[in-house]
Amino acid sequence: MRKAEKERNTRETRIKMSLELDRPNNGILIGGSGIGFFDHMLNTFCVHGGFVITLEMTGDIDVDTHHSVEDAGIVLGALFAEILGDRSAIRRFGEAHVPMDESLAFAAVDISGRPYLVFDGEVNTPKIGCYDTALTKEFFGALAFNMGITLHIKLLCGENAHHMTEAIYKAAARALAKAAEKTDGGVLSAKGV
């Protein structure tokens, strides 16, 4: 079983999170961040990636939701990095297109140790509930840089901000799950590391 747990406490957030991979058809978010729409997106991410995330979290959401969303991405990225270790015996690359009604999102992942985010997924509404839609980029940036992955996300079309954002989270989860799949080989790199 590929699983890890971390705690991260700052003046802005207190996070205890565990992550378990390899649970296709059984992915779920247990607990939450206190930000309704973000929890919905995290649960969607878990379901479509086959991940189990257990989250106990408090944050300064009376100020803004930014610190909570970004810090959750930091911890989640660190958990993935710990679980995948030297990145041997995994597929390394993954991609997914996900339609959600009128929306279509694409994500591609390289679990390479080279952190980078290309994000073309801005939506047409500033907030969904108390979730600032600009935080989608912040979450995936924190995830990519703390996990050490190259992540490309592109929103190809859409009109409804909820659908657009959800398609992005689903596409990223599916691409990440593919890239993290176990293989029989070593590190998939011409460098050998």
Q: Per the domain annotation, does 32 fall within a domain?
A: yes
DSSP annotation of 105 reads: E
Examine residue 191 and state whether it is found in any structural domain, yes or no. Answer: no
**Residue 189 backbone dihedrals phi, psi, to 5 degrees:** -160, 140
Model confidence pLDDT, tens digit, residues 60-103 = 998 889 999 999 999 999 999 999 998 889 999 999 999 999 99
Q: Which pLDDT does position 190 carry in this prediction?
A: 47
- 189 within a domain of the structure (yes/no): no
Q: Is 178 inside any structural domain?
A: yes
The pLDDT value recorded for residue 184 is: 84
Q: Taking a C-beta distance cutoff of 8 angstroms, is the pair 133, 165 a contact? A: yes
Domain count across the chain: 1
Instruction: Confirm whether 168 is domain-assigned.
Output: yes
Residue 53 maps to a domain = yes
Q: Is residue 193 part of a domain?
A: no
How high is the pLDDT of residue 154? 98
**Is residue 192 one of the residues assigned to a domain?**
no
CA pair distance 85, 22, nearest whole angstrom: 16
> 147 phi and psi, to 5 degrees?
-90, -25
User: Which of 23, 81, 63 is closest to 47 using CA atoms?
Assistant: 23
pLDDT digit string (tens) for the chain, length 193 residues? 899 999 999 999 999 999 999 998 899 999 999 999 999 999 999 999 999 999 999 999 988 899 999 999 999 999 999 999 988 899 999 999 999 999 999 999 999 999 999 999 999 999 999 999 999 999 999 999 999 999 999 999 999 999 999 999 999 999 999 999 998 875 554 455 4
Domain containing 16 equals 3-184
How far is residue 73's CA from residue 161's CA, in Å, rounded to a whole number?
21
Phi first, then psi, for residue 133 (nearest 5°) are -65, -20
Of 111, 101, 105, which Cα lies nearest the Cα of 21?
A: 111
CATH assignment at residue 113: 3.30.230.40
